C-alpha cells in the first residue's frame, strides 16, 4: 500500500481513538516512512529536520497567548462583557425579547470575530463572556446550539478570509506549504480564492439563526456565579487599546505576528497593568494556552516532510490521476472529503495544511487546476472539520463556556450542529470555487 495512505490512515485512526494528536502524527510519520522504504534512522532524521518549518508559527502562537493574557489583565475584556450585559439588561423586558436575543447574538458574534483578527486572543474570551450571560439566555429561552454555532463561525470564518491576526498565520502557512509542494503563489490571492468558501459559512450561520435554532428552548437556571460589575482603570483601558493598535501596526509594517504580539506586550508592560514581578508567570500561562496548537503544528510539518521523502506522493498523484482521468469535478469533491477526514482527525486546520498541501498541490497541477482553484481546494480542505471536530478548539471553546452548568453536550450540542451548518456548505462552495476559479 502507498506510504502516504498508510501514514494518513494511521494518524487518523490513532486520532479517532483519542490518542494525543501529536503522538498520532509521530506514529503516522514513523509507519509511513518505514512502509515507504526509509530506515527508522532516516525517518527520525527527516521528521526532526521538518520540525523547524513551523518554528515561526509556533512562536507566533505562544506570543499571542501571552498577549491575550496581558490584554485580559488590563480589564478590557471584562469591560466589554459588562457593557454587553448592561445593555441587554436594559432591553430585557418581555416586550423586547426579540431585540434582546438579537443583541446577544450580535454581541457574541462580534466578540468572536474580533478575537481572530482585531484583538487576537482566540478562545480566551469565551470563559469571560459566556457564563455571565447564561442566566439572560435562559430567560430569553435561546437555544445554546445557536450560540455554539455563532461562536464557531466567529472563530473560523475570519481567519479563513482575512489576512490579519490568526488569519495572517493561516494564509502564510498555506502559501509556504504550497510553495514547498511545487506551486508558488501570491499571498494576496488567498483572500480572493477563499471568498466563495467563506460565503458558504455565512449561509450556514444564517440557516442556524433563522431556521434551525430560532425556536425557544428551555433550560434550568442554575446559579453558578454572580454577575459582578468590575472596576476599571481608564488608563489601563487606554493602554490596552494602544497595545492592540501597536500590535496590528507592527504586524502590518514588519509582516510579522511575532513582533506584532511583542509590541503589544511591551506597551502593556509600560502601562503598569502587569507588574514586573508577575509578568513572567502571567505570560507563561498565556503561552501554555496556545502551546498545544504549536506542538501539533511542529509535528504536522515533520509528518509532511517524511511522507514527501518517501517519494510516494508522486506515485499516489499518478495513481489517482489515472483513476479520475480528466474529471476535475470528481477530483475536487474527493479532495475535499479527504481534507474533511484529515482535519476531523487532527482537530486543527492550521496543522492540517502541511499534510493537505503535500498531496493536493501535485494532484491539482496534474489535473490542470488553476493556482486560484488550487488555493481554494487547499484552504477549504484544511478548514473543513475545524468546525465539527471534537478535538478542535473551535468547538471545545464554545462548549467550555456553554456547559458550565452541565446543560450543553459537547458532541450533540456543539460538534454536530457546527458540522452540519458549516462543513456541508464549505464542501459545496469550496467545490464551486475550484470549478469556476
Q: What does the pLDDT look like over 290-317, one tens digit per residue?
A: 666 667 667 777 887 887 788 776 777 6
pLDDT exceeds 70 at position 150: yes
Per the domain annotation, does 362 fall within a domain? yes
Residue 291: domain span: 3-217+229-436
Return the pLDDT at 399: 83
Lowest mean pLDDT among 150-164, 187-201, 206-220, 387-401: 387-401
Torsion of CA 395, 401, 405, 407, to 10 degrees: -30
Task: Tell me the pTM.
Answer: 0.72
Return the pLDDT at 76: 72
pLDDT exceeds 90 at position 192: yes
Please check whether residue 275 is in contact with residue 326, taking contact to mean a CB–CB distance below 8 angstroms.
no
Q: CA 271, CA 236: separation in Å to the nearest integer?
A: 7
pLDDT exceeds 50 at position 182: yes
Q: Looking at mean pLDDT, say which of 19-23, 28-32, 303-307 comes out highest.
A: 28-32
Count the domains in the chain. Answer: 1
Mean pLDDT value of segment 379-408: 80
| Burial class of residue 292 (count of CB atoms within 10 Å of its CB; 0-12, 13-18, 19+) | middle
Mean pLDDT value of segment 252-272: 79
Per the domain annotation, does 344 fall within a domain? yes
Q: How far is CA 185 from CA 50, 146, 262, 371, in A?
A: 21, 37, 28, 7
Return the pLDDT at 95: 45
Q: For residues 21-34, b (16+ Cβ closer than 10 Å) or e, as one string? A: bbebbbbbbbbbbb
Decide which of 261 and 199 is more confident.
Answer: 199
Mean pLDDT value of segment 174-192: 90
Return the pLDDT at 300: 72
What is the overall mean pLDDT for the chain?
Answer: 80
Q: How many helices (H) and strands (E) does the chain have?
A: 20, 0
Q: CA 171, CA 185: separation in Å to the nearest integer?
A: 11
Of 202, 95, 189, nearest in space to 140 by CA: 95
Return the pLDDT at 433: 94
- How many other C-beta atoms are found inside a 10 Å radius of the C-beta of residue 210? 9
Q: How far is CA 247 from CA 88, 141, 284, 386, in A?
A: 31, 39, 19, 26
Mean pLDDT value of segment 14-41: 82
pLDDT band, very low/low/confident/very high, at 93 (cuts 50, 70, 90)? very low
Per the domain annotation, does 224 fall within a domain? no
Q: CA 355, CA 335: separation in Å to the nearest integer?
A: 12
Three-state secondary structure of 97-115: HHHHHHHHHHHHHHHHHHH
Per the domain annotation, does 43 fall within a domain? yes
Mean pLDDT value of segment 426-435: 93
Amino acid at each position: 500500500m502507498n506510504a502516504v495512505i498508510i501514514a494518513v490512515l494511521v494518524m487518523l485512526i490513532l486520532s479517532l481513538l483519542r490518542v494525543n494528536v501529536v503522538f498520532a502524527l509521530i506514529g503516522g510519520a514513523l509507519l509511513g516512512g518505514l512502509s515507504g522504504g526509509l530506515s527508522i534512522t532516516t525517518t527520525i532524521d527527516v521528521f526532526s529536520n521538518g520540525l523547524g518549518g513551523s518554528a515561526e508559527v509556533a512562536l507566533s502562537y505562544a506570543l499571542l497567548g501571552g498577549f491575550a493574557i496581558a490584554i485580559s489583565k488590563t480589564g478590557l475584556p471584562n469591560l466589554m462583557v459588562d457593557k454587553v450585559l448592561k445593555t441587554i439588561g436594559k432591553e430585557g423586558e418581555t416586550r423586547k425579547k426579540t431585540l434582546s436575543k438579537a443583541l446577544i447574538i450580535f454581541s457574541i458574534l462580534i466578540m468572536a470575530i474580533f478575537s481572530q483578527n482585531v484583538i487576537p486572543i482566540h478562545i480566551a474570551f469565551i470563559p469571560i463572556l459566556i457564563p455571565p450571560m447564561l442566566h439572560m439566555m435562559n430567560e430569553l429561552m435561546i437555544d445554546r446550539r445557536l450560540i455554539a454555532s455563532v461562536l464557531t463561525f466567529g472563530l473560523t470564518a475570519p481567519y479563513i478570509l482575512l489576512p490579519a491576526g490568526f488569519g495572517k498565520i493561516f494564509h502564510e502557512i498555506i502559501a509556504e506549504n504550497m510553495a514547498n509542494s511545487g506551486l508558488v503563489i501570491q499571498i494576496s490571492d488567498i483572500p480572493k480564492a477563499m471568498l466563495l468558501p467563506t460565503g458558504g459559512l455565512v449561509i450556514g450561520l444564517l440557516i442556524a439563526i433563522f431556521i434551525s435554532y430560532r425556536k425557544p428552548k428551555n433550560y434550568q437556571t442554575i446559579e453558578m456565579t454572580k454577575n459582578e460589575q468590575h472596576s476599571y482603570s481608564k488608563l489601563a483601558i487606554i493602554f490596552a487599546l494602544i497595545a492592540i493598535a501597536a500590535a496590528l501596526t507592527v504586524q502590518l509594517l514588519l509582516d510579522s505576528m511575532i513582533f506584532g504580539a511583542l509590541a503589544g506586550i511591551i506597551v502593556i508592560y509600560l502601562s503598569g497593568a502587569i507588574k514586573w514581578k508577575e509578568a513572567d508567570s502571567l505570560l507563561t500561562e498565556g503561552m501554555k494556552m496556545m502551546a498545544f496548537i504549536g506542538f501539533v503544528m511542529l509535528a504536522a510539518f515533520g509528518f509532511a516532510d517524511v511522507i514527501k521523502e518517501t517519494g510516494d506522493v508522486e506515485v499516489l498523484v499518478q495513481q489517482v490521476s489515472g483513476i479520475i482521468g480528466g474529471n476535475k469535478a470528481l477530483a475536487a469533491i474527493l479532495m475535499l472529503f479527504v481534507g474533511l477526514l484529515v482535519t476531523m482527525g487532527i482537530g486543527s486546520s492550521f496543522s492540517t495544511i502541511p499534510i493537505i498541501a503535500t498531496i493536493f498541490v501535485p494532484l491539482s497541477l496534474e489535473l490542470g487546476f488553476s493556482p486560484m482553484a488550487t488555493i481554494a481546494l487547499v484552504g477549504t480542505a484544511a478548514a473543513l472539520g475545524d468546525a465539527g471536530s471534537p478535538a478542535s478548539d473551535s468547538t471545545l471553546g464554545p462548549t467550555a463556556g456553554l456547559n458550565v452548568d452541565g446543560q450543553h453536550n459537547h458532541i450533540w450540542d456543539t460538534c454536530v450542529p457546527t458540522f452540519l451548518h458549516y462543513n456541508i456548505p464549505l464542501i459545496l462552495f469550496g467545490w464551486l470555487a475550484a470549478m469556476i476559479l
